[in-house]
Structure 1
Amino acid sequence: MTDQVVGGFGHERTGEAGEPATEDHASPAGPGRPVPGGDAERGTVSGVGGQFIGRQRELKALRADIERAGLDTIAGRKAPRARVLLIAGRPGSGRTALARELVRQLAPDYPDGVLHARLTEPGGSPVPPGRAAGDLLAALGTDVPPGADEDVLTEMLRAALAHRRCLLLLDDADDAEQVDPLLPDNSDCVVVAVTQGPLTGIPDVRPCTIGGMDPKSAIELLTRFTDSVRVTVDPQAAELLVEQCGGQPAALVLAGGWLAARPKASVADATKRLRGLPDDPEQPAGARPLSRAFRLVYGSLPQSAARALRLLALAPAGLVDAHTASALIGCSVTSARSLLEDFAALGLLQEHTADDPGHVPDAPHPHGQYVVPGCLAPMLHVLVTEEERPAEIQLARARMLERTVRLLQSCWAITEPEGSAAQRKLAGLPRAMRFPGPGAADGWLRSRQQSLMAAARAAVGDGELDTLARRLVSAFVRALIAHRGAEAVAGELYALHQLVLDVAERRELRREQAAALLNLGDLDARTGRTDEALDRYRSALEIARRANDPYAYGRAVESVGGTYQELGDWQRAADWYGRALSERLARGERADEARLYGRLGTVHTYAGRYGEALRSWRAAAAGYRRLGDVPGHARALSEAARVQEYAGRPDESLRTCEEAVELARQAGDLRLQGALRLRLADTLERLGDPVAARMHRTVAEQLLGGEASGLRNP
């Protein structure tokens, strides 16, 4: 018969997934519900409160390895790269906790801080080196060009670390091909790599291979979860339990959680239960203790709790909070929060820790996130696949994505003005899905960015939830831009537009495909990848033509012209701007007509075709006049005056510039007035009137202050 455990597993939870609840903050563990400390993601050797236990011999050997003379030193050469300390062990052996403790001890000797990257996703997929390099560059505060390829990003990372004294923790590496591109070309840096086996291909690396903990440390870890009396009265049973767990920290954490949930059970009871569980012959011998410990805890859960735990395997990036759990399971947010706390007390989840580039990431996350332990994730994935019907899995994913979309919409709407349609819609959401203010929404967005990006990738990769995937990406883009600005999140926007393009190509959504290509082209152009941008714009042009999308077609034509302008091909730029202008004229879009006349005037000026440039700028000025855009009219006239001056017609330039100054005065644009008066002063000096020139320059300096020297040409 299934055991009933403390902490809410003894009763059914009811309530709707969208039920109003308290705000999303993690509740502290209550009495009798200890939360495992350290790094239960891959098995911990830390106790409650984060105190490190055991592994002193390994720590001493790793620290000594830093001072060991490498092959280059022996050969009389300066080490060309950072020293790599390799910690190898099976998932659940406490390898990550050992690495973090080592980094914590070494951190004071590395004034430029600690960088952390995990190189395997919770589902087991390796993280591409380019993505890891981009994350590390962002942690260093270095601007990452959106869409840059892997070689560029890894080279940028090595350059950023060339003159720093840093520690790099590369966790859960799959092979040497992931690690090698991230190694700094700087012997003042040290890299701590965590993996399951040797990193063949990286020279001069001696792995520190870890297995089970020593019995004394293992019993001390076990004592952290249950009162010491139960261990003291039956030390032999405690030793047998450690033996049954193979000394593996993750297995001991689970066994300790099982005991903590049963105050009346003895250590011998846990040992007997573990011994009675059969081994899985398909698993390696080293993985069987953890598997048995997991089955002990999982088998003791009520049916509803066991199903909830299985569904958490679907959480993006292995990160889960109350809202994610609520949507996956189909319960209220309050019930989901209680479930997460119970699972954490049993060692089945771990509080997520913030990864800060300046220190070892060991502080609890401020926004109530938990992580599915990496050593347990494969077992949960097998269970959810075997126990849940595909339709139920798809429904859980759909609920989770729908909840995420609504939270992102709420995150964006909180930045809109009071009384707006977005704010009115926000007021109709349950309280659990509303943020108290923009600051709280921004904090939530930043803390969830990793899991939100993972959710978007998973939704697009699924292929069956494309409508939800498109809504998710759209809401994510709006929230990012609203809180951080398009420039600050250009890298994230590039990845999201690429996801939109993937869905649009798969579903043959021509309009969305064209829009995604245009957005990607704009980001390519902004980062100097002009040829790539031109290819994107041309592809968007062809797709927009087939889709009969006049907006995308017009934008694509103009963007092709802008790219040729950037390349200095004035003739082709003018030709494409002319095509775009014809489209606008045919549709009577007057504001765009005036703007395109100006762009034509610019390229004709660069090409030295002053007659055509002057006609274009006069047409632009006329367009702005008809629109009633006085500042635009003044600027167009100022450019016409510039062309007249270039063409050797200073008298006409003077009259045109005076007219532009008067318009700028009417518009109240002091900066434009000042810049135009500086141009007037230059023209008057060339015409031989220094007194009038001095007067205009004095007025300009009064209008512009310290800016006058840099604004000779508006």
Structure 2
Amino acid sequence: MLGPLRAWRAGSELDTGSAQQRAVLAALALRSGRVVSVEELSLGIWGWNPPASSAVALRNHISRLRAALETEPRAPRLLVSVAGGYTLRLDEDALDASRSERLATEAERAARTGDRPEAARLLGEALDLWQGVPLTGVPGEYAERQRERLTERRLALLETRLGLELELGRHARSVAELTALADEHPMREGLRALQMLALYRSGRQADALAAYDRTRRSLTEELGLDPGPELVRLHQRILRTDPELAAPGAQPSAPAAPPVAAWLPPAQLPLDVPDFTGRTEVIAELDEALARPSAGVGTAAAVCVIHGMGGVGKTTLAVHAAHRARGSFPEGQLHADLRGASAKPADPYVVQGLFLRALGVPPENIPSSPLDRTALYRTRLAGRRLLVLLDNAADTEQVEPLLPGTAECAVLVTSRAPLACLPVTSRTALEPFTEWEALDLLERITGSTRLTREPEAARALVNTCGLLPLAVRIAASRLAARPRWTVASLADRLADRPRRLSELETGSLAVDAAFQVGYAALDPAQARAFRLLAIPETPDLSPGTAAAVLDCTDVMAEEVLESLADAGLLEPGDVGRYRYHDLVRLFARHRTLEADPPQERQAALSRLARCHLAGTSAALRSERPYSRLAGALNPEVPDGPQFTSAAEAQRWVIEELAGMIGLATQILQHPTRPAGLDDARVIAATLTAMVPFTDLCVPWRLVVPIGQDLRRIAEQAADPDVAANAGVVLAVAYAHTGRHEEAREAALRAWRTREQHDDGVFPHRLRYTMGAVAALDPGSVDEAVDHFAQARTLARRAGEAGFEAQCALGLAQTHLARHDYAAALKEGRAALAHFSATSCHLPATLALRTLGQALHGLGRHDDAVARYREALAMCDTLGLRSQRAPTLLACSVAHLDAGRHAEAASLAGQAVALFADLGDPAGQQRAEDVVRRAGSESP
């Protein structure tokens, strides 16, 4: 067994058969005569997914082994069938693995009696039985586990034998063997210690110290750990030329040095960076929490958690804060990289063992039981002022065993997950730099001259890095290493999105690698979601939109979004919203190009487009329950979200608006994949349903090219529905961007297209659109009145009283523009009467504001204010923030014209804040003008 699997009978080697047959033989032989069930054999050979023919194959292997091993295969004595399995009956010394264990036991007995030469001889005889890698060529999970066990056993026996050789003064002949073994197994500190001792006793002190440095570097680079206390003490003793390290029988050449202390306070913190930048508020909070660990936390240790995405600077911040706090922890600082973002996080109980060794506990005194080990760990920390830095934690379960039990200590934890269930003193959600922090780091690394010469290029560079500290550091390091490069030249290279991640790499630093660690730890479903959700051009995602992309339920989508946020690959925003950092999105898109076929990526976008249509149609039905437009636009798409109020519907449209426009642009303007007619139909219908929400600050400049693309596709496919809807969208977009002639022409083309396909739903709406387009042109107000009047007539014929009232409201607002306040008052009252009677609260609010404006125009300021107050009360009741802002402004103007300057200034001030919150700079400017007027005209 201790090499390639071989068998003999009476001195002749036997044919052990195929690889699987050898696996069966190994599984039976290594179990020392125990009965092995068929299930155990199958699992050891084929794993958890055996082939359907596994039972037949196993019987065949047993039959062939009997033919090879037995003298009488039909009456087997060695390989015997027992109920439910088989057993291989061998003498103890018939198996080399058993002989090796027997010799090791005899060697241990000899060592206990003081016969070291005999112990070393017996161990040498046991080790001579190894002929290479155990079970070479034997497949299966069981064989792999046994291979690892036997290999580990050989190393343990070697270490014991070589230790005996040094005790016997045989250091010179052991050096070569120990050097080879220690270099082959650099993480085994016991072998390195024996090598160092052998070298030292052979007069090679410098080589012994160099061997220690190799192990220290290996542990730091591979595990983020320092050597254990045993190896550190040996290193110190070699440095001091400790006479007690001399070979047995050697005479000391100098007086004995003072004994080395049994325990040195650990100082394991990684190096701090000399160019630490920003994070002023967070550092102040951590300084306060760590300065007096027992203050304000009763009998519990201070625990500070820093969490955030990969590359955001968690470790740099934690190490910097830990170094600042060192003076508060004179008895040492412990550090471990828990590798929480990797596929194999560190075992906290292994880390406990390393910490215990650093705290002076000999390895043989460290308990194997997790409970006993935790108890000893907390006992060693009790009463001591130590700081524990746990970097890159996976979850609460990994951190809890490493927490001290008393208040004198403090713990600083970094993690990509928020560790929400961990009881903490402070928790910091670390975000990317502010722009000035990023520029400060760029300047510290590259120098101030280049930034002074190219300030705008520097701003562009750090923003292209997404203000991510790791990305900024890499970009700055590249500039520092290339003094002939300009800042603008690197900014231009990073502006190329496909190559941005490959540019953000220098030396051992790479943004891509920081994200890859977290991505590699995802399960397949999470990884697929991470890739697909990055495809749509949307600023953020809700569970509903994520469900559409992933083709799953909202509940499942939210679970995936939360898991990705916990992994530090998504950033949680407002309640129910999640977003990608720009560089993380780029990383995910690179992965989806590698892993997901084009059809699946396109299908995800199409599902999201249909989700937008379903949601916009549902919002339209909620806001205008009298309208038949939503049903006509959305006959085949499943029902969207269920809104309980018009305000909730408006909020949904506001939240998804940027995503709808970004997705439409992405689908219609893809550089290599022409948009299909089905997607065009869905997008055209979505934007048509969005048109009634024109008061929600729609970015019409971005809608214009979308409408143009839709019209082009409609003309190529001769599709009247897409053509008419594209015409409506394009007309309104042109009108809102001041292109009035093009708006009028687009509306007229839509009207003519629908004239040929009159379905009774669209004619009055198209005429209404023509009126709305004309009303936005100061020179076409009279034309608008005519269009609205015709639209009202058509709506009456179609039996849509609600739309008839909407036309009356449009007329009232147009009469206001003509300063015909009496006509506006008449039409506004007609609209309000219908909307109030039918409980259409949003249009009723618009009608009330229109009436207030008409009354204001007639000089009836108090009556106007009364209407505005009714409208504001309705806004408050329904949560209509987008309507409240212009109503506050209109009411403030009425107060101003009535000479009530304080009331005007107060209402206008509220409007300023609300317009700013809504992202309406034009409205904000108008409200600020009223505030200034109220101040200047006040007596």
Taking CA–CA contacts closer than 8 Å with sequence separation of 6 or more, which of the two structures ends up with the larger relative contact order? 1
Q: TM-score, normalised by structure 1?
A: 0.41
